[in-house]
Amino acid sequence: MFGTESSLSMFLNTLTPKFYVALTGTSSLISGLILIFEWWYFRKYGTSFIEQVSVSHLRPLLGGVDSSSPTNSNTSNGEADSNRQSVSECKVWRNPLNLFRGAEYNRYTWVTGREPLTYYDMNLSAQDHQTFFTCDSDHLRPADAIMQKAWRERNPQARISAAHEALELEDCATAYILLAEEEATTIMEAERLFKQALKAGEGCYRRSQQLQHHGTQYEAQHRRDTNVLVYIKRRLAMCSRKLGRTREAVKMMRDLMKEFPLLSMFNIHENLLESLLELQNYADVQAVLAKYDDISLPKSATICYTAALLKARAVSDKFSPEAASRRGLSTAEMNAVEAIHRAVEFNPHVPKYLLEMKSLILPPEHILKRGDSEAIAYAFFHLQHWKRVEGALNLLHCTWEGTFRMIPYPLEKGHLFYPYPICTETADRELLPMFHEVSVYPKKELPFFILFTAGLCSFTAMLALLTHQFPELMGVFAKAFLSTLFAPLNFIMEKVESILPSSLWHQLTRI
């Protein structure tokens, strides 16, 4: 035993300060590399690599539940159900106020050199066009057969050429739609093409309406012609709104909703709400909200924040946070604050855009409800309406952050709505362009292993620097530290020596 201690002491005395510098420098380098990799992995995938490996691979080896047990089977089924629920929560919707590609998105690209739409977003639009504008009987009409292939084309010029080819054969409504959306460089030109599409679409709709009961093929054709007609009329109303003919746009939207009341998938009421707010016709806005702000219908940021705006309008011009803190909130002010909290809980990303704490970009063609994409789409069109109401943004600024004190954390359950889905960040990154910094809620806390490696890297780097600058002093500290570290072991060994017979201890040391 004493020979081991003497050899250890001799070994420690022979170590030079250069050894300690090399040791601490190497450990600092290794921990720094681990820190960089962990940070990159966390930024890309939202989780710690070490933690993921520990949970996925090491946990079963260290006594995890057997995969064949019924308990684990039930757990797996529960996880599968939660995964299916998260997928359904993260359904992507068509943006009701999406811009025109040729007249708006492409002009942005020409000016800035940036692409405002992602490939994923445009691919979803292509799928929508094939669903709404094609049917199984398209091969019976040559122009429709050409357009069926055109909607599947990835190259914009190939789609435009196919549309012109279809128009050479006959007046094809879907061909006019494609040219209005993608070739027209101004809203006026797009409106002219949509009017030609309306003339062709109404003729096809009347013919298919008379034949719809003659078989499933004619019924599918009539459904397609209905979708085409509704789409054309809605885009014509949007053209009128963009060209300043807002009252005309409101009339067209109301007529369209009366004519086709069952086609709620287009969410035309959101276009109507925006136009009514532009006219400052708040009574009609309230009437539309009373019809569509129903628990059986899927909510949207437009519904929730418009309801909050109307209630804020009643009190915002006289609202003062200092006066409210002295006398308390009145009933009307309390209703306005509760409406704001309701809206913020539904989509917590919107206030930063309305308060101009975050820069806006062009909205995508598809949005994720309760996500950053929906917040951008709402704020892009409705920021002007909040600015028009005196004091509304001030009331929002004073009260919106209070929402998070009422929402349970972690987000196992919501307060007024379902728990906030965890999949929004991934979907929004697919929908929004790379140059936009996606808003994330709730903010992800840094994993323990990133903090640990950061501390380890800093500590070892500091030790390496001190050892290089003060080699003798650090050598003394290192020897003192090692002596202190081995002191309990030496004490135990001395106690064992005193208890065991010397002959037995001698035989054990020889072994």
The dihedrals phi and psi of 117, each to the nearest 5 degrees, come to -110, 140
Predicted confidence (pLDDT) per residue in 187-207, tens digit:
999 999 999 999 998 888 888
The answer, yes or no, to whether residue 444 has pLDDT greater than 60, is no
Task: State which fold the 118-267 domain adopts.
Answer: 1.25.40
The answer, yes or no, to whether residue 72 has pLDDT greater than 70, is no
Residues 300, 87: Cα–Cα separation, whole Å: 18
Question: Helix (H, G, I), strand (E, B), or coil: what is residue 367?
Answer: strand
Question: Helix (H, G, I), strand (E, B), or coil: what is residue 93?
Answer: strand
CB 428 within 8 A of CB 369: no
pLDDT for residue 425: 80
For residue 12, name the pLDDT band (cuts at 50, 70, 90): low
Residues 280, 277: Cα–Cα separation, whole Å: 5
Residues 253, 137: Cα–Cα separation, whole Å: 30
Residues 475, 16: Cα–Cα separation, whole Å: 8
Residues 381, 347: Cα–Cα separation, whole Å: 16
- Bigger pLDDT: 120 or 50? 120
CB 335 within 8 A of CB 381: no
The dihedrals phi and psi of 92, each to the nearest 5 degrees, come to -95, 135
Helix (H) or strand (E) holding 130: helix 119-133
Q: What is the mean pLDDT of residues 277-300?
A: 84
pTM of the model as a whole = 0.71
Q: What DSSP string runs through 285-301? A: HHHHHHHH--TTSPP-H
Predicted confidence (pLDDT) per residue in 223-235, tens digit:
888 889 999 999 9
Q: What DSSP string runs through 25-69? A: HHHHHHHHHHHHHHHHHHHHHSS-HHHHHIIIIIHHHTTPPPTTS
Cα(first)–Cα(last) distance of the chain, in Å?
13
φ/ψ bin of 440: left (φ > 0), alpha (ψ from -120 to 50), beta (otherwise): beta
Question: Helix (H, G, I), strand (E, B), or coil: what is residue 431?
Answer: helix
Interacting residues of 361 by C-beta distance below 8 A, sequence separation 6+: 116, 376, 432, 433, 435, 436
Q: Report the candidate in 380, 255, 389 with the shortest Cα–Cα distance to residue 310.
A: 389
Question: CB count, 10 Å around CB of 73?
Answer: 11
Q: Report the candidate in 311, 301, 241 with the shortest Cα–Cα distance to residue 272.
A: 241
The answer, yes or no, to whether residue 476 has pLDDT greater than 80, is no
Residue 483 is encoded by which pair of tokens? 């002596």
Q: How long is the chain?
A: 511
Q: Which residue has the tokens 């684990």?
A: 72
CB 194 within 8 A of CB 177: yes
The CA-atom distances, in angstroms, between 400 and each of 341, 349, 410, 421, 424 are: 6, 11, 19, 20, 21
Q: What ranges do the domains of the chain cover?
A: 118-267, 280-445, 449-501
Residues 63, 66: Cα–Cα separation, whole Å: 8
pLDDT for residue 378: 94
For residue 328, name the pLDDT band (cuts at 50, 70, 90): confident
The answer, yes or no, to whether residue 70 has pLDDT greater than 50, is no
Mean pLDDT score across all residues of the chain: 79
Interacting residues of 508 by C-beta distance below 8 A, sequence separation 6+: 500
Helix (H) or strand (E) holding 368: strand 366-368
Residues 413, 36: Cα–Cα separation, whole Å: 34
pLDDT for residue 81: 43
Q: Of 228-232, 426-430, 436-440, 447-451, where does the model show the most confidence?
A: 228-232
pLDDT for residue 50: 65
Q: What is the mean pLDDT of residues 254-268?
A: 82
